[in-house]
Structure formats: structure tokens, C-alpha cells
Structure 1
Amino acid sequence: MPKVSDLFFKTAVVWFILGIGAGLQMAISGDHGSFPAHAHINLLGWVTSAIFGGYYALNPAKAERKIAMIHYGLYNVGLVIMLPALYLMLHEGYTALEPVVAAGSLMVAAAVLIFALVVFSSAGVRSASALSAATR
């Protein structure tokens, strides 16, 4: 498995554990005010990271490109900035953290655009004719 796939999958599991923890905290306390943060942790952290890992596993030539690791790093730095700030903003009422959430969100958005560039680029993709020629 390509390194970036392995990293995305491992990081996804960490986000999944954190998302479950946030859900348990809400259930135990009876305070569900931070449910949007819980949803973001699970969807952006767990699910989307696992999807990125799957894409790179299915496209190893693209996974070996430097831009794939840039995507991984920027996406996860953005999540690490955004998600705890969002949780504290919603759970504790620290509205002053809104610019931090915005900064992390912009980093995540930039990483998604990088992923789109990876997906739509033809670099690292072998044409069908090249594949059939290689198997002869």
C-alpha cells in the first residue's frame, strides 16, 4: 500500500476514535450542543480521510507524487486547527475561536482543491493502450 494511503487510513482511525469520544461525551453529559463538531470530526476526519486513503491505494502512481503528501499534510493540519476550535466554540461557547475555525476550514478547502487537482490530472495515469502493450 502506498505510504500516503497508509497515513490517511491510520489518521482516519484516530479521527474516528476522537469522534466516538465526542459522541460519548455528549451522550453521558446529556448536552448535545456540540453535535456539529462531532459530525465534522466523523465526516471530515474519519470518513473523508478513509476515502482519500482508498483513492490513493487504487491509484498508486498518483500516490507516489509529492503532491499527495502535500495534500495529506495540509488536510490534516487544517483539521487539527479547525476541529478542536469548533468543538470548544460550540461546547464551551468560546466564540472568539471563530477566526481559528475559519483558518482551519480554509486550509481544509485548499487541501480538497489539491485533491481535485490530483484526481483530474493525467500525471501518473497510464493509458489503456499503454497498459495493453505492457501486458503483451
Structure 2
Amino acid sequence: MAVKLIKISVIYFVIGVLIGMYMSMTEAFDFTPVHVHINLLGWMSMALAGLIYVGFPNAAETKLAKVHFWLHNISLPIMMIGLSFLVSGVDSAGPAVAVGGTLLVIGIIVFAINILKNVKQ
């Protein structure tokens, strides 16, 4: 699980950097919320979770770790695609942001439960 999280976090890092480069080149910063969320929730959060799982491999082997991984990686793209449309003026994209965001929060709560339950000294 640690390796999967670290590898996918790098994919999100590339996407976030490319969005930042696009905004810089076009001097159009409408996608700043998407750029920030992909870098924080994709790159940083997943890389950190992967590193935590390197340090605590017992937590990485739980069903909770798998549930977190899949919830995070299904919900984040839904939320980010919805947010991309929303900042582009498509008001009907709001529910995608809400559903993706809610599932993401649930995934992060699952991660927290896993850490609190399975990370021991």
C-alpha cells in the first residue's frame, strides 16, 4: 500500500505542476483551486500516507488502508473534474464537487481510524 500511495502521489504531482504551468503560461488563474487541491490532496496527502505506511507496515496491510486508497483515488478525480467545470462557469457541476468531496472526507476519516487503531509504538 505504501508503494501504491507514493507512486500515485507522483502522478498527482505531475498533474498539479502541469496545471500550474498552464496557468502561468496563459496568465489565467481560474484553475488555482484545482491546482492547489490536486497538489495538497493528491501529491502531499498521499505521499505522506505512503510514508506513514512505510514506517508502520502493519497499518498498511489492513482493509482500512485499501478502503482509504480506493475512496481517495475515486473521489479526488470526481471532485477535481467537477471543480474544473465549476470554476469554468458550469454551475451544474456543483454536485460532482459535493459528492467527490464527501467521499474524500470519508476516505480520510477511514485513514485516520486506521492510523489511530493500528499505529503503535
**Which bracket does the TM-score occupy, shorter chain normalised?**
over 0.9
Cα RMSD after superposing both structures: 1.3
**CA positional deviation for 1:124:** 6.8
**Kindly, what percent of the aligned residue pairs are identical?**
31
- 1:58 pairs, out of 39, 55, 59, with 55
- 2:69 pairs, out of 68, 72, 83, with 72
1:36 maps to which residue? Answer: 33
Question: Stretches of 4+ moved more than 4 A in 1?
Answer: none
1:12 maps to which residue? Answer: 9
- Runs of at least 5 residues in structure 2 that lack an aligned partner in the other structure: none
* 1:82 has 2:104 as partner: no
Partner amino acid, structure 2, of 1:102: A
Partner amino acid, structure 1, of 2:7: K
Q: How many residues align?
A: 121
* 1:104 has 2:100 as partner: yes
Contact 1:38 1:87 in 2 (8 A): no
Deviations 1:25-57 (A, max 9, x none): 111111111111110010111000101101111
